[in-house]
Amino acid sequence: MIEIFYKENGQMMVARSEADFGKIRCGDVVWIDLFSPSGDEKRAVEAFLGTTIQSRAQAEEIESSSRFSETDQAIFANTSFLIPGPEEYSMETVSFILAGQVLTTLRECPLRSFTDLQRRLLAFPKMYASGYIVFVSILEQRIDLDADMVELISKEIAQYNKKLNLGEDISEEFLIDINQLQDNTMLIRENIVDKQRMVSSILKSTKYPSELQPKFNVLLKDISSLINHTNFSFERLEYLQNTVIGIINLDQNKIMKVFTLVSLMLMPPTLIASFFGMNVSFGRFMSESGWAWFIIVGLMLLSFFVIFWIFKQRKMF
One domain for residues 71 and 162: yes
One domain for residues 268 and 238: no
Q: How far is CA 3 from CA 20, 39, 120, in A?
A: 10, 15, 15
CATH label of the domain that carries residue 133: 3.30.460.20
| 181-203 mean pLDDT | 85
Tell whether the model's pLDDT for residue 35 goes beyond 70: yes
For the chain, the distance separating the N- and C-terminal CA atoms, rounded to the nearest angstrom, is 72
One domain for residues 261 and 119: no
- pLDDT on residue 286: 53
One domain for residues 160 and 301: no
Q: Single out the residue in 221, 249, 277 at which a domain terminates.
A: 249
Q: Single out the residue in 249, 270, 297 at which a domain terminates.
A: 249
Q: How far is CA 52 from CA 80, 135, 219, in A?
A: 20, 19, 28
One domain for residues 156 and 269: no
Give per-residue pLDDT as tens, 244-283. 777 777 777 777 777 777 776 777 667 666 666 655 455 5
Tell whether the model's pLDDT for residue 23 goes beyond 80: yes
Ramachandran quadrant class, 57 (left: phi over 0; alpha: psi -120 to 50; beta: rest): alpha
> Which residue has better confidence, 315 or 41?
41
Contacts of residue 185, Cβ cutoff 8 Å, sequence gap at least 6: 153, 230, 233, 234, 237
Contacts of residue 26, Cβ cutoff 8 Å, sequence gap at least 6: 48, 49, 100, 102
Q: Which ranges of 2-76 would DSSP assign to H, the alpha helix? A: 39-49, 56-59, 64-67
Tell whether the model's pLDDT for residue 284 goes beyond 60: no
Residue whose C-alpha is closest to residue 102's, from 131, 128, 74: 131
One domain for residues 198 and 265: no
One domain for residues 212 and 268: no
Please name every residue paired with 13 in a beta bridge, in sequence order, or none if there are none.
Answer: 6
- The dihedral over CA atoms of 213, 214, 215, 219, expressed in degrees to the nearest 10, equals 100
One domain for residues 169 and 93: yes
Q: How far is CA 189 from CA 78, 83, 143, in A?
A: 17, 13, 12
One domain for residues 217 and 262: no
One domain for residues 18 and 58: yes
Of the pLDDT bands very low, low, confident and very high (cuts 50, 70, 90), residue 315 is low
d(CA 264, CA 105) in angstroms, rounded, equals 74
Contacts of residue 18, Cβ cutoff 8 Å, sequence gap at least 6: 2, 40, 41, 44, 45
- For CA atoms 20, 26, 28, 29, give the dihedral sign: positive
Residue whose C-alpha is closest to residue 134's, from 124, 147, 144: 124
One domain for residues 141 and 279: no
Tell whether the model's pLDDT for residue 169 goes beyond 70: no
- pLDDT on residue 196: 86
2-6, 202-206, 250-254: which has the highest mean pLDDT?
A: 2-6
Residue numbers of the domain that contains 215: 2-249
One domain for residues 126 and 215: yes
Q: Single out the residue in 202, 234, 249 at which a domain terminates.
A: 249
Domains identified in the chain, total number = 2
Average pLDDT of every residue of the chain: 79
Tell whether the model's pLDDT for residue 16 goes beyond 70: yes
Q: How many CB atoms lie within 10 A of CB 166?
A: 7
pTM: 0.73
- pLDDT on residue 62: 52
Tell whether the model's pLDDT for residue 116 goes beyond 70: yes
